[in-house]
Structure 1
Amino acid sequence: MEDSRIVEMFLARQETAVAAAQEKYAPYCLAVARRILGNDRDAEEAVNDALLAAWNSIPPQHPEVLSSYLAKLTRRIAIDRVRRNTADKRGAGEWDLALEELEDVLPGSADPAGELEVKDLEAAVGRFLQSLPEADRLLFLARYWHFRPVADIARSLKCREGAVRTRLHRLRRKLKDQLGKEGYPL
């Protein structure tokens, strides 16, 4: 079923919209949630919560790209769950590792995940991503949007983990420089 049709079903408040979205995008959303949460049970709950959030938010939202919208909802729910689960102790999951890598780049508070949700900062990061060559943009997104482990990225790119880490370091430095030029305190 086409995304536009599924969105129309949400807008018309047809309950079959949730089932259609689940059928088409549950595997994708599960992969997003698993990378953040690290286990199937929590990932499945996050996807179910994301589908409920989609039902509650469409309308008034009218997503142009349903897969991205559902992934965004899943990601936010999964990150919130990690925050709750790790309130007393920090785990060694990909979420924590990726955010630790970004701590020195993002301005402001000690909570980089919260900083990413600030609209102005999102726009600045979006401009940075648009300025990158496609290969660098995909690498950055794989690590810091999809929370893929460096080892997985290296395997998919058929290169050494060290090469991936070096490229990511350079990309973080470029991001830091651009944010500095745009007036963000570093």
Structure 2
Amino acid sequence: MDDKVIVQMYLDRDENAILKTKEKYEAYCYAISNNILGNYEDAQECVNDTYLRVWNSIPPQKPVRLSTYLGKIVRNLSFDRYKKNTATKRGGGQTKLILDELEDIISERNTPVDEVERKELIRTINEYLANVSQRKRQLFVCRYWYADSIRNIADRYNMTENYVSVILNRMRAELRIYLSERGFEL
């Protein structure tokens, strides 16, 4: 079913919208959540919470790309769950490693001034990614948006794990310099 039709079902408050969303995007949402959490039950709960969050946010929201909208919601819910799970213990999965890799570049911000800076940081990171090769951009997004493991990325793009690690390491170094040159204190 076309995403525009599904979004219109939400706008019309048709409860079948959730079923159609689940049929089309459950595996996608689960993959994102499981990559972050590394736990089937927690991932399933985040995916189910995603459907509720989408139901409650459309309307007034009217997403242009439903997959991106769902991905962002499930990703945020999964990171929130990850933070909750690791408040008292250290969990498995890729998330801690991924956050450690980006720690020098991006830190959590909470004040209104920091929110403006965060938006500028996101714009600048997107600008950086627009200027790298498509393959590098794909590797970066797989690792830092979808929280894919190095092994999965290497398999997907027919590369060695070491090669993927080297590319990502170089990209982080380049990004650090790129951000520093544009006035971000790292």
**Pair 1:149-2:156 in alignment:** no
For 1:118 and 1:46, the matched residues in 2 are separated by: 25
**Pair 1:162-2:153 in alignment:** no
For 1:172 and 1:8, the matched residues in 2 are separated by: 40
**Which residue pairs with 2:93 in the alignment?**
93
**Deviation larger for 126-135 or 100-109:** 100-109
**Which residue pairs with 2:126 in the alignment?**
126
Structure 1 108/65 Cα, relative in aligned 2: closer, same or farther at 3 Å? Answer: closer
For 1:152 and 1:4, the matched residues in 2 are separated by: 31
For 1:26 and 1:65, the matched residues in 2 are separated by: 16
Per the alignment, in what secondary structure is the counterpart of residue 19 of structure 2? helix
Percent of matched pairs sharing the same residue: 43
- The runs of at least 4 aligned residues of structure 1 exceeding 4 Å deviation read none
**Which residue pairs with 2:10 in the alignment?**
10
Pairwise CA RMSD: 1.9
8 Å CA contact retained: 2:35, 2:148: yes
**Deviation larger for 9-18 or 42-51:** 9-18
Per the alignment, in what secondary structure is the counterpart of residue 60 of structure 1? coil
For 2:80 and 2:107, the matched residues in 1 are separated by: 21
Measured against aligned partners, the alpha-carbon deviations of 1:72-111 in whole angstroms (never above 9, x if no partner) come to 10000011001001002332420111110011222576xx
**Which residue pairs with 2:21 in the alignment?**
21
Q: How does 1:129-140 map to 2 (within 5 A)?
A: 129-140=129-140
**Deviation larger for 90-99 or 62-71:** 90-99
Per the alignment, in what secondary structure is the counterpart of residue 146 of structure 1? coil
Distance apart, 1:157 and its partner CA: 2.2
8 Å CA contact retained: 2:37, 2:92: no
For 2:129 and 2:80, the matched residues in 1 are separated by: 24
Structure 1 108/179 Cα, relative in aligned 2: closer, same or farther at 3 Å? Answer: farther
Q: How does 1:37-116 map to 2 (within 5 A)?
A: 37-106=37-106
TM-score (norm 1): 0.91
Measured against aligned partners, the alpha-carbon deviations of 1:125-183 in whole angstroms (never above 9, x if no partner) come to 11121121100000000111111111111222222211111100111011111111221
TM-score (norm 2): 0.91
For 1:103 and 1:89, the matched residues in 2 are separated by: 19
Segments of 5+ residues of structure 1 without an aligned counterpart are none
Per the alignment, in what secondary structure is the counterpart of residue 98 of structure 2? helix
**Which residue pairs with 2:36 in the alignment?**
36
For 1:46 and 1:175, the matched residues in 2 are separated by: 31
For 2:182 and 2:85, the matched residues in 1 are separated by: 35
**Deviation larger for 117-126 or 92-101:** 117-126
For 1:70 and 1:94, the matched residues in 2 are separated by: 21
Segments of 5+ residues of structure 2 without an aligned counterpart are none
For 2:91 and 2:27, the matched residues in 1 are separated by: 25
8 Å CA contact retained: 1:108, 1:185: no
Distance apart, 1:118 and its partner CA: 3.0
For 2:23 and 2:156, the matched residues in 1 are separated by: 27
Per the alignment, in what secondary structure is the counterpart of residue 70 of structure 1? helix
